[in-house]
Structure 1
Amino acid sequence: MTEDNSRELYDRALSVLPGGVNSAVRAAIEPYPFFVRKGEGGHVIDADGNRYIDWVMGLGPLLLGHDLPEPVRAGIQRKASEGPMYGTPTEVEVDLAEFVVRHVPSVEKIRFVNSGTEATTSAVRLARGYTGRNKIVVMQGGYHGAQESTLVEGDADDPKPSSAGIPESFAEHTLPVPFNDEDAIRDVFEDHGDDIAAVLTEPILGNYGIVYPEEGYHEFLREITEEHGSLLIFDEVITGFRVGGLGCAQSEFGVTPDLTTFGKIIGGGFPVGAIGGRAEIIEHFAPTGDVFQAGTFSGHPVTMAAGLETLKFAAENDVYGHVNGLGDRLRRGLTDIVADQAPSYTVTGTDSMFKVIFTREGPSGVQRTPEDASGDNREQGSDSLEEQCPAGCRQDPTCPRYDYSPKNAGDVKNAETERWRRIFWRQMKEQDVFLSQNQFECQFVSYGHTEEDVEETLEAYKDAL
């Protein structure tokens, strides 16, 4: 495998781009990232002609894969041929808005923007403007874009900026708590309840290795925010139109937030973001309300066409059956492999999301007879893996992995993150499998992937683990 062209391109990029990249995570691969020339189905081909099974999928937007179905491609090309943009409303943005309102339980009205970061920034501003309060509760390790209100680390007693360039005074209004920790939520509401504008959370942590919620956690968030007159904001930039199908993750969990932020899939692979929710709240955006929000490229007609055609195709074809079926097959296969070769590791994910977290501790009572390499004749014991979650961690208290599976971002951070990045990732790449660039970003199945892609990937995991 040659990487000469990627190395040359990176050398050029270092001269004109900070770190040689336009998004920090892309530089995580050492000594340099490979440069992609094009995508085909569930694969990418790099600048040197190397072909990889692609489980990154643009970090989530590509539900349909790299080869768009003909109706989707035609709809995008038709809109692009009519002109780039106009600075006035177009019919297609109304069409996409109507589609989202029909399918997502919490959304009565929606405002389109240009990125997930812009969506969460606007949602936080809207929550503060609507409630007249200042403080926002976020989950430690949850990612809500590159914005001042959420680039905050520490805890609720000592929040501080997680990036240079953010004034300490900004962080004072952000209260980080561990995901899945009801007591921590109760404490911040007891201390700051009268000034909490909103709780902002991903339904499933998607930038910290995929952490599933404990049963009842989101229902608890719904109850305590209503009790205190605060808003509940679901950040579905990652999970939107991927988990729970067209109803998004909130429909799968049966919890209706006040506001939802979207990105990625809702734009069909083009730059996009959106804020949806109860009409009485969304109406506080300008021009009908007092919360300013505007953008030159918001509701861009080509992006709106891409999002609408993608979601229509998913609604009219068995897209979710295909991607969720492959996702389930992947996670079940990984669960078996991990049980045999790395019993301390944790398989996570749901629907078309998956990841193996290199957790350091796990059940210790699993044994195999020497003649049974498959592990089918494991001896039963208190730590037997026979009753584990079969297709990704569900935070099931009866699962033998329950005490060891990550419950929050801190648990993932304590995993073998450097081994994942420095050794495992390259071992998978050498077997032509492209995984997300670090332990924290999740991986995605697309409509362009096949059963053969799954089987080849499982064989690569067997070898690399």
Structure 2
Amino acid sequence: MNHDESRDLYDRALSVMPGGVNSSVRAIRPYPFFVQKGDGGHVIDADGNRYIDFVMGYGPLLLGHDLPETVRAAVQQRASEGPMYGAPTEVEVELAEFVTRHVPGVEMVRFVNSGTEATVSAVRLARGYTGRDKIVIMEGSYHGAQESTLVEGEREHTAPSSPGIPESFAEHTLTVPFNDKTAVHEVFEEHGDDIAAVLTEPILGNHGIVHPIEGYHETLRDLTDQYGALLIFDEVITGFRVGGLQCAQGKFGVDPDLTTFGKIVGGGFPVGAIGGKSEIVEHFTPAGDVFQSGTFSGHPVTMAAGLETLRYVAENDVYDHVNALGERLRSGIADILEDQAPAYTVVGTDSMFKVIFTRDGEFGKGHCEGGCTQDPTCPRYEFCPKNGADVDRAETERWERLFWPAMKEEGVFLTPNQFESQFVSAAHTDEDVEQALEAYKRVL
């Protein structure tokens, strides 16, 4: 493939943007390809190269790049009526009604502008509601670019993971490994009266794709109830992608106190949301005293895009289609790994998928064919990643430096490192899946 135009664009970008990008994950070595446009389940770069797109904007594009006419018309209408108003609109009420009608743990919603803003606000709300300062997160987790969760270390021995964050922020953040029931019990036994909330993704989606072991979320639910803390599910990635319209909390049958959303709930436009039980969410100003506000919150174009996207999904067989393609991809990749790289692990569920370059393990009779579900009867159970540290021990450099570039040259656009999820959209086809599997077969 020729990448001359992308290289020239990156050269220009380096002069006017730090690192040449506006989000650090896009800084692919030696330089990123610059996208000119999307086309269904594909993107076309500045040099005219065409790729099957499994990044899908890091998750928001459940319907792909070609929006259905109802979504496009709603966006165009709202944009033509004026950019924004600084006043409420009916469409934000309608989207809130849709979310509260379908998501089990959500009775009331506050819309914001990003997943980061949603998790920042949820943590502030939990602290304000409980009168406590400490929060528990999973080691290696990512909940946006906020000071309270950009930490590293174990238990109470944490420190900021980035310069510019005062040490005092990390003092209030406790970490435990995902899927470690013993560790979270111990943290609550030692700090339970000071813990405002446990913040976790239902499925780790920013650090590999790691499924919860049986009973893990129920343990979190029981402990937070016992100690008067809140359980917050970060569903920025899984919301309206895993578990259908009920989201991952519906799939796992656990109702959190608060849920954060982003990505799909805005139909591909900048968005975030905090949902939860009314008695808690009403502590946001102006109903309560926990400050939260934003000029662009509930932006009419975003609200219209999100509402019409979710309506389209509800009225069509979108989840059947994308989940079936996701299953075919995971099962097909598993077959390839069994022959060519039996130490590697297929992960994901519904329309999420990934290969983790784990270093140990073999395929055996009865393995999880459609992605690791942490099934204790699976012969790979002891080798499948259980937490972020397990993913870190995988061959992350091989994935990023050798595998990703080779897949790109095969015309398959994947998230550019071992950690972020990959996604199937409604615009993908059986032919896309077959082409992608052939590429995996050649590259692995």
Indicate the TM-score class for this superposition, using the shorter chain for normalisation.
over 0.9
| 1:379 counterpart residue number | none
Give yes or no for contact 2:156–2:171 (8 Å, CA) kept in 1.
no
- Moved runs in structure 1, 4+ residues, more than 6 A? none
Residue equivalent to 1:395: 374
Partner of 1:14 in structure 2?
Answer: 14
**Corresponding position of 2:173:** 174
Structure 1 residue 284: Cα displacement = 0.2
Aligned partners of 2:136, 2:156: CA distance in 1, in Å?
12
Structure 1 counterpart of 2:23: 23
What corresponds to 2:319 in structure 1?
320
Which residue of the other structure, out of 402, 406, 410, is the alignment partner of 2:389?
410
Aligned equivalent of 1:373: none
Q: Give, in whole Å, the separation in 2 of the partners of 1:68 and 1:325.
A: 20
The equivalent residue for 1:419 is 398
Show CA shifts across 1:70-98 (max 9, x none): 11111111111111000000000000000
Specify the alignment match of 1:196 in structure 2.
195
Match of 1:93 in 2: 92
What letter is aligned with 1:411?
D
The AA in structure 2 aligned to 1:392 is: G
Distance (Å, rounded) in 1 between the aligned partners of 2:288 and 2:161: 32
Match of 2:123, SS state, is helix
Look up the match of 1:354.
353
Q: Give the counterpart letter for 1:181 in structure 2.
A: D
Q: Following superposition of structure 1 onto structure 2, how do residues 269-284 of structure 1 map, counting pairs within 5 Å?
A: 269-284=268-283
Report the Cα offset of residue 211 of structure 1.
0.3
- The 3-state SS of whatever aligns with 2:372 is coil
CA contact (8 A) 2:197 2:232 kept: yes
Q: Deviations over 1:185-235 (max 9, x none)?
A: 011101100000000000000011100000110011100100000000000
Match of 1:267 in 2: 266
Aligned-residue CA RMSD (Å): 0.5
1:246-261 alignment runs, 5 A limit:
246-261=245-260
Partner of 2:205: 206
Gaps spanning 5+ residues in structure 2: where? none
| 2:62 aligned residue | 63
Deviations 1:6-41 (A, max 9, x none): 0000000000000000000000x2100000000000
Does 1:330 find its partner at 2:309? no
1:29-44 equivalences under 5 Å are 29-44=28-43
Secondary structure of residue in 2 paired with 1:275: strand
Q: Does 1:135 align with 2:134?
A: yes
Report the equivalent of 1:108: 107
Structure 2 counterpart SS, 1:175: strand
Code of the residue aligned with 1:346 in structure 2: it is T
The Cα of 1:386 is off from its aligned counterpart by 1.8
SS of match in other structure, 2:375: coil
Q: Which amino acid aligns with 1:128?
A: R
Matched, 1:438 2:437: no
Q: 2:431 aligns with which of 436, 452, 459?
A: 452
* Counterparts of 2:223 and 2:175, CA distance in 1: 16
**How far apart are residue 141 of structure 1 and its match?**
1.4
SS at match of 1:438: coil
Determine if contact 2:156/2:173 at 8 Å carries over to the other structure: no
| Cα deviation, residue 142, structure 1 | 1.3
Identical columns (%): 76
The one-letter code of the counterpart of 1:151 is L
Inter-partner Cα distance in structure 2 for 1:308 and 1:142: 29
The amino acid of 1:13's aligned partner reads A
| Cα deviation 1:117-172 (Å, max 9, x = unaligned) | 00000000000000000000000111100000000110113111011100001100
Q: How far is 1:5 from its partner? A: 0.3
CA deviation after TM superposition for structure 1 residue 406, in Å? 0.1
Q: Deviations over 1:389-445 (max 9, x none)?
A: 010000011101000000000000000000000000011011100000100001000
Partner SS state of residue 197, structure 2: strand
Query: 2:106·2:259 contact (CA, 8 Å) conserved in 1?
Result: yes
SS at match of 1:339: helix
Q: Residues of 2 paired with 1:241 and 1:38: CA distance? A: 25
SS of residue paired to 1:154: strand
DSSP 3-state at the match of 1:6:
helix
The letter for the 1-side match of 2:352 is: M
2:443 matched to which residue of 1? 464
Q: 2:427 and 2:156 mapped to 1: Cα distance? A: 46
| 2:369 maps to 1:385 | no
Query: 1:180 & 1:273 partners in 2: Cα distance?
Result: 26
Matched letter for residue 2 of structure 1: N
**What do the CA deviations read for 1:89-110 (whole angstroms, capped 9, x no partner)?**
0000000000000000011100
* Number of matched pairs: 444
Q: How many angstroms does 1:385 deviate by?
A: 1.4
Q: In the aligned structure 2, how far is the partner of 1:78 from the partner of 1:288?
A: 32
CA distance in 2 between counterparts of 1:321 and 1:447 reads 9
Aligned to 1:311: 310
Name the counterpart of 2:49.
50
Contact 2:151 2:170 in 1 (8 A): yes
Q: Which residue of 2 aligns with 1:377?
A: none
Give the C-alpha shift of residue 339 in structure 1. Answer: 0.8
Look up the match of 2:240.
241
| Distance in 2 separating the partners of 1:419 and 1:201 | 28
Counterpart code for 2:269: F
For the Cα contact (< 8 Å) 2:351–2:425, is it kept in 1? yes
In 2, the alpha carbon distance for the partners of 1:293 and 1:285 equals 6
- Tell me if the contact between 2:241 and 2:351 (Cα under 8 Å) persists in the aligned partners: yes
Given that 2:53 and 2:414 are in contact with CA atoms closer than 8 Å, whether structure 1 keeps it comes out as: yes
